[in-house]
Amino acid sequence: MRIMKHLCLVSVLVLAGCASNPYFQTGDTLSSFEAGKAAQGKGDLPLAISKYREAIKEDSGNCEAYVALGFTLLDSNATEEAMNTFERAVEKFPDNAPAHRGKGAVYLVIDQPESAAQELRKALSLNPQDHKALSTLGIAYDMLGQPEKAQANYRAALELEPMNMSYENNLALSLVLAGKFDEAIRVLERIARSPQATPRIRQNLALAYGLSGDMKKAKDMGRKDLDDRAMKNNIAYFEAVRSMPLGSGQVSGILPLNQPKRPYDSARSWSN
């Protein structure tokens, strides 16, 4: 199974890249768009979707509302609706980088990395400083078995957004999948010490330890988030796959069953 099957990609609201539009507030009454943003911030995705749709009905030229709606639909696992929204956005606003980035993100979700890469390259042609598009393009290249290109994109994203743990996690996982365990471990050990480290980061570190042959450290790290049974299953898996040719850059079939479902940290890879 390709690693994309493990990627239930997450996104949050993106508002950059559109021409500014006047959003009016009267007293404490928010515009539909601002109400959508507020609902998004509180985690009320159905209300956010409703308000963004209202905003588009009120102003069909509101490209920010299209982009926000698309990412919120993607965040809600409404993949087909998200694609339809981004396709409309790209048609109406062909020079809008976030719209192309969003369309590329949906292509990743539906396991079409070549199409994703095409949209993400378009986004970067419109805004070369879009570090979210750079990291997301890195995921597409990893899925295509092109780890050198993937890692170059993650590093470029980190030049624009230094110390971004999401991008560092993506880089490290790419290094793991390419068999560059020592370098991956150095990156993951540093970010795993952060108070903001997620289970995803810690279990990617356990993966790196296990595939490098350090089962003791893999066990110790695995126990931080997994019960004994899950951890033992992962250790057995690490031992079974150590003989696989990881250095080829192929990313299929090497993640353990108890690896987090989103090994790439895409929460900030293409979105604000």
The predicted model gives 2-13 an average pLDDT of 35
**Would you say residue 260 has pLDDT above 70?**
no
**Amino acid letter for position 253:** G
Q: Say whether pTM exceeds 0.85.
A: no
94-147 tens-digit pLDDT: 999 999 999 999 999 999 999 999 999 999 999 999 999 999 999 999 999 999
Q: What is the pLDDT of residue 135?
A: 94
**Would you say residue 22 has pLDDT above 70?**
no
**Would you say residue 25 has pLDDT above 50?**
no
36-71 tens-digit pLDDT: 999 999 999 999 999 999 999 999 999 999 999 999
Burial of 170 (0-12, 13-18, 19+ CB in 10 A): buried
The predicted model gives 261-272 an average pLDDT of 50
Q: What is the pLDDT of residue 19?
A: 47
**Would you say residue 255 has pLDDT above 60?**
no
* Residue with more model confidence, 84 or 241: 84
From CA 6, how far away is CA 257, in angstroms rounded?
Answer: 10
**Would you say residue 264 has pLDDT above 90?**
no
The predicted model gives 148-163 an average pLDDT of 96
Q: What is the pLDDT of residue 232?
A: 87
Q: Which tokens belong to 58?
A: 């009120």
Nearest to 139 by CA among 171, 165, 164, 115: 171
Radius of gyration, alpha carbons of the chain: 20
Q: What is the pLDDT of residue 216?
A: 95
C-alpha dihedral (34, 40, 44, 46), degrees to nearest 10: 80
| Confidence bin at 268 (pLDDT 50/70/90) | very low
Q: Which helix (H) or strand (E) holds 189?
A: helix 181-192
Question: What percent of the chain clears pLDDT 90, i.e. is strictly above it?
Answer: 70
Q: What is the pLDDT of residue 258?
A: 52
Would you call 29 helix, strand, or coil by DSSP?
strand
From CA 61, how far away is CA 54, in angstroms rounded?
Answer: 13
| Confidence bin at 82 (pLDDT 50/70/90) | very high
User: To the nearest whole number, what is the mean pLDDT of the chain?
Assistant: 84
Q: Which tokens belong to 161?
A: 């957004």
210-239 tens-digit pLDDT: 999 999 999 999 999 999 898 888 888 888
Instruction: Centre a 10 Å sphere on the Cβ of residue 220 and count the other Cβ atoms it contains.
Output: 13
**Would you say residue 156 has pLDDT above 50?**
yes
- Say which residue the tokens 């993951």 belong to: 188
168-192 tens-digit pLDDT: 999 999 999 898 999 999 999 999 9
Q: What is the pLDDT of residue 243?
A: 72
Q: Which tokens belong to 48?
A: 């956010």
From CA 237, how far away is CA 212, in angstroms rounded?
Answer: 13
